[in-house]
Amino acid sequence: MNFPRGTKKRKQADSLDGERSLYASFSHAANAVSQLYTAAVQQTKRAEEAGARQALVSKAKLAALPAAAPLGSGFTSHQRCSGTEVQARLR
């Protein structure tokens, strides 16, 4: 068979173009996965920080509540009172 001149070079060039296209597609996909991972890690950090902040706020609110009455003080278990009220009742 007689092939026209330049056919082999054209096939090699087409093959290189295909490899370049494949490499570009792979690089694009790898960068997209990397960006998704980075975004997920950042979101996890933000969620952990928000949870820690919420825990501190809850702890501060709990600490601001008046103390529960000790047993035998005359207050029912669901009532809350200040320390001076308890001391007055115990006298």
Domain assignments of the chain as residue spans, ordered by start: 7-90
Question: Would you state the pLDDT for residue 66?
Answer: 74
3-state secondary structure at position 68: strand
pTM value surpassing 0.85: no
Question: Would you state the pLDDT for residue 64?
Answer: 82
* Tens-place pLDDT, residues 33-63: 999 999 999 999 999 999 999 999 988 888 8
Q: Are 58 and 52 in contact (CB under 8 A)?
A: no
Q: Are 90 and 73 in contact (CB under 8 A)?
A: yes
- Reported confidence tier of residue 88, pLDDT bands at 50, 70, 90: low
* Tens-place pLDDT, residues 8-29: 667 777 778 889 999 999 999 9
Which stretches within the chain are classed as H helix? 7-64, 83-90
In terms of Cβ atoms closer than 10 Å to its own Cβ (0-12, 13-18, 19+), residue 69 is: buried
